[in-house]
């Protein structure tokens, strides 16, 4: 479709804003604003609501049930949802596995998996990283041995987000050992209810069980669940990672956190007793992160436009991943500093007490410490920022 005019964009923003205001359950919004734990039903309920509105897959083509929105519409939708306190739709099916199946899967796989991803009936998780194979993903060792009409899979994945709730996992597995490491990797879809799949929790710095180890011990997977060609999975993996990195900027959340930061700085006293916003050095840091956020917003729009034109994101997604995660970490650090001594206490179990507050000012400080601890990992996941700089240097500068 043609790019929206300014008037159409404003009308679309109003439409999204009205929808979220009327459809977002108050209980979910309250958890998001306060930084409290979202349960699996919260994610499923919001996905169902958005799916019933027809907006679950903004970047999917209409032929697969998506919206086929341009970059500006995607940006507006995600920003308005974040500003209103709505959770992001889980990306593992919609942004990662779905596009790979659309691009490289066969018609049977598309008909089988895509409708259930779109509706949220199937919850997916990502099986990429392994111990010793994170940023160096080509070193992965999970083995899939072909035996007739099925594969037998053995190995371990780690840092697997929300695997404890997942119905399916898309995995990179080693199917050959000859040649370059990248040449022996395949892309396999595995039912998490299969015999031999074990999920073990990893508790993070913030006390939350968000990530997991996933072990596979002689797991039988039908050969029909192989996406594309055997030993060509590295190509599909890179395609998926570009889609993942495009969604890592987190602009809507950052704008909301910036507003929280300014509200705190207007009331929280500095070392001299005056509001922090009157401290030149602290005010300069707020101004700098706001400038960076505005620049990232423009870059995000350009990248989304390129993705819409090409049908797939390029290396520019690495720019969003780097700067977006750096801004997220800067904002969470500044929020901690603004909250002062109130940020020191941290009891994850207090997240279950809807009435608890560590801070009684303009911002609920209950979740800020946990948010700070959680986002220490942001510059590492989806390919560390050091790896992203290598990608940019290689593909843009030819180094």
| Residue 297 annotated among the catalytic residues of the structure | no
Dihedral angle at the C-alpha atoms of 377, 379, 383, 385, nearest 10 degrees?
Answer: -160
User: In this structure, are residues 129 and 157 in contact, taking their beta carbons and an 8 Å threshold?
Assistant: yes
Please give the Cα distance from 105 to 98 (Å, whole number).
Answer: 9
Please give the Cα distance from 214 to 191 (Å, whole number).
Answer: 12
Catalytic residue among 78, 80, 244, 330: 244
Q: Is 132 exposed, middle or buried (0-12, 13-18, 19+ CB in 10 A)?
A: exposed
Residues 6+ apart with CB under 8 A from 96: 124, 126, 170, 240, 243, 244
Buried b (16+ CB within 10 A) or exposed e, 164-191: bbbebbbbbbbbeeeeebeebbbbbbbb
Which of 317, 168, 181, 305 shows the shortest CA–CA distance to 241?
317
Torsion sign, CA atoms 305, 311, 316, 321: positive
Q: Is 199 exposed, middle or buried (0-12, 13-18, 19+ CB in 10 A)?
A: middle
Question: Could you list the active site residues?
Answer: 244
């Amino acid at each position: 479709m043609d790019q929206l005019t300014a008037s159409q964009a404003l009308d679309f923003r109003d439409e999204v804003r009205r929808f979220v205001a009327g459809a977002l359950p108050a209980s979910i919004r309250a958890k998001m604003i306060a930084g409290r734990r979202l349960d699996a039903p919260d994610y499923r309920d919001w996905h169902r609501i958005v799916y019933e509105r027809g907006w679950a897959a903004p970047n999917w083509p209409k032929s697969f049930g998506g919206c086929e929105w341009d970059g500006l519409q995607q940006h507006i939708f995600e920003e308005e949802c974040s500003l209103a306190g709505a959770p992001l739709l889980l990306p593992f099916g919609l942004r990662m596995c779905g596009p790979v199946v659309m691009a490289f899967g066969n018609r049977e796989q598309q008909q089988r998996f895509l409708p259930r991803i779109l509706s949220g009936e199937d919850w997916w998780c990502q099986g990429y990283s392994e111990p010793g194979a994170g940023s160096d993903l080509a070193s992965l060792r999970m083995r899939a041995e072909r035996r007739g009409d099925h594969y037998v899979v053995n190995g371990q994945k780690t840092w697997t987000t929300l695997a404890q709730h997942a119905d399916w996992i898309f995995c990179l597995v080693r199917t050959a050992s000859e040649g370059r490491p990248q040449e022996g990797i395949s892309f396999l879809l595995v039912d998490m209810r299969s015999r031999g799949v074990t999920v073990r929790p990893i508790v993070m710095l913030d006390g939350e069980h968000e990530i997991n180890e996933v072990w596979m011990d002689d797991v039988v997977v039908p050969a029909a669940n192989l996406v594309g060609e055997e030993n060509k999975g590295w190509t599909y993996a890179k395609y998926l990672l570009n889609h993942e990195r495009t969604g890592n900027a987190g602009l809507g959340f950052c704008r909301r956190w910036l507003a929280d930061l300014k509200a705190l700085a207007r009331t929280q006293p500095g070392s001299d007793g005056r509001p922090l916003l009157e401290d030149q050095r602290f005010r300069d840091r707020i101004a700098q992160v706001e400038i960076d956020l505005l620049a990232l917003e423009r870059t995000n729009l350009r990248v989304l436009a390129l993705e819409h034109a090409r049908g797939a994101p390029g290396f520019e997604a690495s720019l969003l991943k780097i700067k977006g995660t750096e801004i997220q970490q800067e904002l969470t650090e500044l929020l901690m500093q603004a909250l002062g001594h109130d940020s020191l206490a941290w009891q994850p179990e207090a997240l279950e007490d809807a009435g608890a507050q560590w801070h009684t000012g303009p911002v609920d400080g209950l979740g800020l410490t946990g948010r700070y601890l959680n986002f220490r990992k942001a510059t590492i996941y989806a390919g560390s920022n050091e790896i992203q700089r290598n990608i940019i240097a290689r593909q843009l500068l030819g180094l």
